[in-house]
Amino acid sequence: MMGVKRLLLVSLLGVLAASTVAGGSMPGSPSNISRDDPGLQRVVLGAAYSFNNQSNDAFLFKPSNVIRAQRQVVKGVRYIVDLEISRTVCRKRDNNNDLSHCDLQPKGRLQQTFQCHFEVWLIPWQNQTKTQVFFCKP
35 near ligand NAG, rule: CB under 6 A: no
Please identify, using beta-carbon distances, which residue of 50 and 132 lies nearer to ligand NAG. Answer: 50
Tell me the one-letter amino acid at 93: R
Please identify, using beta-carbon distances, which residue of 71 and 87 lies nearer to ligand NAG. Answer: 71
Q: For the chain, first and last CA: distance in Å?
A: 49
95 near ligand NAG, rule: CB under 6 A: no
Please identify, using beta-carbon distances, which residue of 10 and 110 lies nearer to ligand NAG. Answer: 10
5 near ligand NAG, rule: CB under 6 A: no
111 near ligand NAG, rule: CB under 6 A: no
Q: Within its chain, how far is the Cα of 119 from the centroid?
A: 7
Spatial CB neighbours of 58, under 8 Å, sequence gap ≥ 6: 91, 92, 93
> Could you say which of 11, 56, 95, 127 contacts ligand NAG (CB under 6 A)?
127
Phi, psi for 105 (deg, rounded to 5): -60, 140
**Cα–Cα dist 75/119, whole Å:** 14
The residue length of the chain stands at 138
> Could you say which of 53, 56, 95, 100 contacts ligand NAG (CB under 6 A)?
53
The contact set with ligand NAG (CB under 6 A) reads 32, 50, 53, 68, 127
